[in-house]
Amino acid sequence: MSNKLKIGLIGLGTVGQGVVKVLDKYDDIEIICCAVNNLKKKRDVAIKNLTQDAMEIASNPEVDVVVEVAGGVKMLDVLMEAIKNKKHIVTANKELLARHGAALFDLARKNQVSILYEAAVAGGIPIIMPIKTTLSANEFTNVAGILNGTTNYILTKMEEENLSYLDCLEKAQKLGYAETDPTGDVEGYDAMYKIAILSNIVFGKRIDINRIYREGITKIDAIDIQIADELGYKIKLIASAKKINHENRDDVLDIRVHPTLVPKNKPIADIKNATNAVMLTGFPVDKVMFVGPGAGEFPTASSVVGDILTIKSEIHSSKNILPMTICHHDKYAYQVDIEKTINCYYLRIDADNEPGVIGKIGSACGEFGINLSYIIQRNKNSQDRATVIVITEECYEQDMNKMITKLEKDNKIKVVNKIRVM
Ligand SMILES: NC(=O)c1ccc[n+]([C@@H]2O[C@H](COP(=O)([O-])OP(=O)(O)OC[C@H]3O[C@@H](n4cnc5c(N)ncnc54)[C@H](OP(=O)(O)O)[C@@H]3O)[C@@H](O)[C@H]2O)c1
- CATH of residue 303: 3.40.50.720
Q: Decide: 369 and 388 in contact? Cβ < 8 Å.
A: no
Does residue 333 sit within a domain? Answer: no
Does residue 159 sit within a domain? Answer: yes
Residue 355 binned pLDDT confidence (cut-offs 50, 70, 90) = confident
Does residue 192 sit within a domain? Answer: yes
Question: Per-residue pLDDT averaged across 335-340, rounded?
Answer: 97
Tell me which residue has its CA closest to atom 8 in ligand 1.
92
Does residue 335 sit within a domain? Answer: no
Q: Tell me, yes or no, whether 78 and 192 share the same domain.
A: no
Q: What is the CATH number of the domain that holds 416?
A: 3.30.70.260
Q: Tell me, yes or no, whether 21 and 55 share the same domain.
A: yes
SS (H, E, C) the chain: CCCCEEEEEECCCHHHHHHHHHHCCCCCEEEEEEECCCCCCCCCCCCCCEECCHHHHHHCCCCCEEEECCCCHHHHHHHHHHHHCCCEEEECCHHHHHHHHHHHHHHHHHCCCCEECHHHCCCCCCCHHHHHCCCCCCEEEEEEEECCHHHHHHHHHHHHHCCCHHHHHHHHHHCCCCCCCCHHHHCCHHHHHHHHHHHHHHHCCECCHHHCEECCCCCCCHHHHHHHHHCCEEEEEEEEEEEEEECCEEEEEEEEEEEEEEECCCHHHHCCCCEEEEEEEEECCEEEEEEEECCCHHHHHHHHHHHHHHHHHHHCCCCCCCHHHCCCCCCECEECCHHHCEEEEEEEEEEECCCCHHHHHHHHHHHCCCCEEEEEEECCCCCCEEEEEEEECCEEHHHHHHHHHHHCCCCCEEEEEEEEEC
Share of the chain above pLDDT 90, in %: 90
Q: Tell me, yes or no, whether 152 and 106 share the same domain.
A: no
Closest ligand 1 atom number to CA of residue 39: 40
Does residue 247 sit within a domain? Answer: yes
Q: Tell me, yes or no, whether 95 and 152 share the same domain.
A: no
Is the pTM higher than 0.75?
Answer: yes
Q: Could you check whether the bond before residue 284 is cis, i.e. omega within 30 degrees of 0?
A: yes
- The count of structural domains within the chain is 3
Residue 12: CB within 6 Å of ligand 1? yes
pLDDT at res. 86: 95
Residue 119: CB within 6 Å of ligand 1? yes
pLDDT at res. 330: 82
Residue 300: CB within 6 Å of ligand 1? yes
Domain that holds residue 235: 128-293
* Of 133, 175, 131, nearest in space to 295 by CA: 175
Q: Tell me, yes or no, whether 271 and 178 share the same domain.
A: yes
Residue 319 binned pLDDT confidence (cut-offs 50, 70, 90) = low
Tens of pLDDT, residue by residue over 190-206, are 999 999 999 999 999 99
Q: Tell me, yes or no, whether 179 and 312 share the same domain.
A: no
Q: Which of 100, 118, 300 to mutate to test the pocket of ligand 1 (most atoms within 8 A of CB)?
A: 300
Residue 53: CB within 6 Å of ligand 1? no
Q: Tell me, yes or no, whether 154 and 273 share the same domain.
A: yes
Residue 328 binned pLDDT confidence (cut-offs 50, 70, 90) = confident
Closest ligand 1 atom number to CA of residue 120: 7
Q: What is the CATH number of the domain that holds 164?
A: 3.30.360.10
Residue 37: CB within 6 Å of ligand 1? yes
pLDDT at res. 242: 97
Question: Per-residue pLDDT averaged across 311-330, rounded?
Answer: 77
Does residue 29 sit within a domain? Answer: yes
Q: What is the distance in A from the centroid of ligand 1 to the CA of 14?
A: 7
Tell me which residue has its CA closest to atom 25 in ligand 1.
11
Q: Is residue 320 predicted with pLDDT exceeding 80?
A: no
Residue 114: CB within 6 Å of ligand 1? no
Q: Tell me, yes or no, whether 134 and 234 share the same domain.
A: yes
Residue 194: CB within 6 Å of ligand 1? no
Q: What is the distance in A from the centroid of ligand 1 to the CA of 90?
A: 14
Residue 19: CB within 6 Å of ligand 1? no
Q: Tell me, yes or no, whether 96 and 134 share the same domain.
A: no
Tens of pLDDT, residue by residue over 385-405, are 899 999 999 999 999 999 999
Q: Tell me, yes or no, whether 138 and 109 share the same domain.
A: no
Q: Is residue 23 predicted with pLDDT exceeding 70?
A: yes
Q: What is the distance in A from the centroid of ligand 1 to the CA of 10?
A: 8
Q: What is the distance in A from the centroid of ligand 1 to the CA of 170?
A: 22
Closest ligand 1 atom number to CA of residue 36: 34
pLDDT at res. 1: 53
Task: State the average pLDDT for the chain.
Answer: 95
Q: Which of 37, 52, 180 to mutate to test the pocket of ligand 1 (most atoms within 8 A of CB)?
A: 37
Tens of pLDDT, residue by residue over 26-81, are 999 999 999 999 999 999 999 989 999 999 999 999 999 999 999 999 999 999 99
Does residue 334 sit within a domain? Answer: no
pLDDT at res. 289: 98
Q: Is residue 108 predicted with pLDDT exceeding 70?
A: yes
Residue 78: CB within 6 Å of ligand 1? no
Tell me which residue has its CA closest to atom 30 in ligand 1.
37
Q: Tell me, yes or no, whether 45 and 154 share the same domain.
A: no
Closest ligand 1 atom number to CA of residue 14: 16
Does residue 317 sit within a domain? Answer: yes
Q: Tell me, yes or no, whether 282 and 320 share the same domain.
A: no
Q: What is the distance in A from the centroid of ligand 1 to the CA of 118?
A: 16
Catalytic annotation, residues: 194
Q: What is the distance in A from the centroid of ligand 1 to the CA of 68?
A: 8
Q: What is the distance in A from the centroid of ligand 1 to the CA of 246?
A: 40
Residue 150: CB within 6 Å of ligand 1? no
